[in-house]
Amino acid sequence: MIIRPATADDLSFIHAQAPRLAGVADLAWRTAEEVMHFQRAFMHETLEAPRPGAVTFIACDGDERLGFIHAEPQLDIFTDRQCAYVPLLAVTPVAEGRGVAAALMAAVESWARGQGYANVALDVFASNVRGRAFYARQGYGEETLRLVKDIR
């Protein structure tokens, strides 16, 4: 497996991962259509006009793309210093359990160190138990929790 910078040729693969990302959001007050709409719009905004200094990596095994990660500079809310923020990480079903996500996270951490950042931050759906466990195994700790109430 190799990790390489993404190119314009990778965008269709990346966008095709939207159902995987939306599928982990088990939100009783949101319809599947609302979650998918959010995911597609968020990915479009994040990837089509990336923030200055952003990076996207692709994991490949030969010609087969296995996953991607996107990271960008963001202000740390506690220190007001730049850190790395990971808004998107997805692997294909065949890549699950093969260390692909860990390799992508390691690539971003290495990139972030090279930028002089002190930390890497990310968000994960609270209902994504598997994702939260993965990030905990990678050494990430929960810092904030967003709560929502449906008042319709």
* Partners of 74 in the β-ladder: 83
The confidence score (pLDDT) of residue 27 equals: 86
In a domain, 64, yes or no: yes
Q: Indicate the SS3 state at residue 20.
A: helix
Q: Give the domain range for residue 92.
A: 2-137
- What pLDDT does 145 receive? 82
Residue 116 to residue 111: CA distance in whole angstroms: 9
- Residue 80, classed as helix, strand or coil, is coil
Is 143 within the bounds of a domain? no
Residue 147 forms part of a structural domain: no
Chunked mean pLDDT (size 10), the chain, 152 residues: 96 95 88 93 91 96 97 94 96 95 97 96 90 94 83 76
| CATH number for the domain that contains residue 105 | 3.40.630.30
The number of distinct structural domains making up the chain is: 1
pTM of the prediction? Answer: 0.91
pLDDT of residue 104: 98
142 found inside a domain:
no
pLDDT, residue 58, reads 98
Q: pLDDT value at position 28?
A: 85
